[in-house]
A and B are shown apart, each in its own frame.
Chain A
Amino acid sequence: MSAISIGENQIEISDDCSLCGICVDACEFGALSLPEVAKGPVEDLLSYRGVWVYAEWRQGKVHNVSHELLSVGRLLADKRGVELGAVLLGSNIDDEACRELISYGAEVVYVVDRPELGNFTDERYSKCVVELVNRKRPEILLAGATSIGRSFVPRVAALLRTGLTADCTHLDIGDDGLLLQTRPAFGGNVMATIICPNRRPQMATVRPKVMKPVKKEAQQGRIERMELPDGCFEARVEVLEVIEEQDQTAKLTEADVIVSGGRGLRNGDNFSIIAELAALLGGAVGASRGAVEDGWMAPSHQVGQTGRTVAPTLYMAVGISGAVQHLVGMQGSQVIVAVNKDPHAPIFDVATYGVVADLFEFIPAFVRRIKRERGV
């Protein structure tokens, strides 16, 4: 807080102030405040009602993150006493997919089913969502922080001229009825709670695998198939090819289990140890920056600041010392296992289970133990 100094009986703020707001929280006397953010007409805000979840349609099925979002959306809608809606865009959408969304808490599913929506494009998807929002006016709109959500939802927010909070890990409704959006920043080293007081809808993307999907078998809901103007389906982008990654061990952001290797493996060939364990757990193979820079693994496997940010159920760091740049890319994982020879390696600071051992002995022993359980 170097921008604050005490002058003659008053606080002076220098030009170094970035208006980050940390001082407002830190001041015990409540003497500090920030200027207010942009205001809109209040009566306009009240005309927005309902919570919406953007349901992600991929290769003919709804992605898990949509079920997670509906479950948290259900809680928010109940607190607000409003309806929970789901928006499903795609082509050849069957009613069964919609009923599944209802079973996770949606009271209404708005479907836009057009051949032009078969492949994802930011322009078409954002125009459709904007059109639906303008017609129905939900107060909250949530989407998964996936490669699709994080790409087109900023365009939706900008076209609607409203705020958007990225990659939230916690959502709640405040006493004043506003959506409290909590997210990590600086690679998870600080958390910030953010509001969008004067614009609607309040929009957030939500990190996958953080919220728990809850199925409600008795839930009733309706399906509304929507006709939108042709302009919504025009785009200046052409999708030439969609190539699905065949190697399941390379799909890092989708994996429930990731086994990552670092320089402790000594050479690229030894990554076979990591690959065997990952395959056994049905997981993906990650790598530290060091391992990628030495050419042992392709850059698409890199976990960390300049690689992928991952938050699987289980993350195993094998022979990785744990530089800050690596930690920020994986410390959101639920269970972290660190295997390293050096008991002082920083990776142990974030580990749930620490194994100080020679990885060349430990990993084969762990693999044998799993195989024994399965009787192979």
Chain B
Amino acid sequence: MSGQTSGMIVKFYGVRGSIPAPGPETNEYGGNTSCVTVRTSSGHLIIVDMGTGLANLGTSLLPTEFGQGQGKATILLSHSHWDHIQGLGFFPPVFIPGNQFTLYGHAKSSSMLEGILEGQMNPNFSPLYTLKNLGATFEVRAMTGSTVVEAGGARITGVPNPHGSTTALAFRIQEGDRSFVYASDAGYPDSGPSKEALALYKDATVLLHDTTYTPKDQLRRRNRGFSSYVEAASAAVTSGVSHLVMFHYDQDYADTDVDALRDACRAELDRRGGQKILLTAAYEGLELPI
């Protein structure tokens, strides 16, 4: 697949927030938690977040070089809340010796980040006991404000957004003049996104933004650190992005609720002067060429 495409391709494996939501009422958008891939022009695989969507991604990778223990991928971890890490133990390529994964996440040090992921695998919670039993090479690196990651010809930078009592990294993946920004789990203060976050979003080809709530539901759960579609629309217009993608829907929202969320977000974009901004509500299986 290398060299066959021009531009990056983004694909969605999990679009739900907080906890997987199985059931007929989520068939259209999907009930798996956060997992998105970016395939660079050179064919390199970048995985953003490891929610339950990671399991289906893993199965789809088995017929490729990852099934032979010859795969290499970069993983970007926005933060380590359970809904963003719980797919790791169910990702078949990570058990195949020879595969190589390099994970970047927000922490003061690489060993602290590794310790957090070890905590998920400890024998009280997981039959895997420790990351050391995974089989594949799994390297963990801390990403701080100034870190720039080069992966498969793309340039990756990150900025921490406030997220309740913690922070979640937003990522920008840039190839030439095209860029994909991933900004999930963003709970801005009343003053809005930071200067650094707006600079990260600036002129993005595609901005994926947290739209967990309607403004009404957000009001009741302010301290959880999520956006409504209003913050997403505002960030998209302020940053001059071309395309806004809605993501991380509340676990209680049925497909019809997400439809309504999308219509309300469209109206909000238009009201703010963003009539030219494309809008997509992410669903499992969606593929977006950048």
Are both chains from one complex? no
Chain B contact residues, CB within 8 Å of chain A:
none
Which residues of A line the B interface, CB within 8 A? none
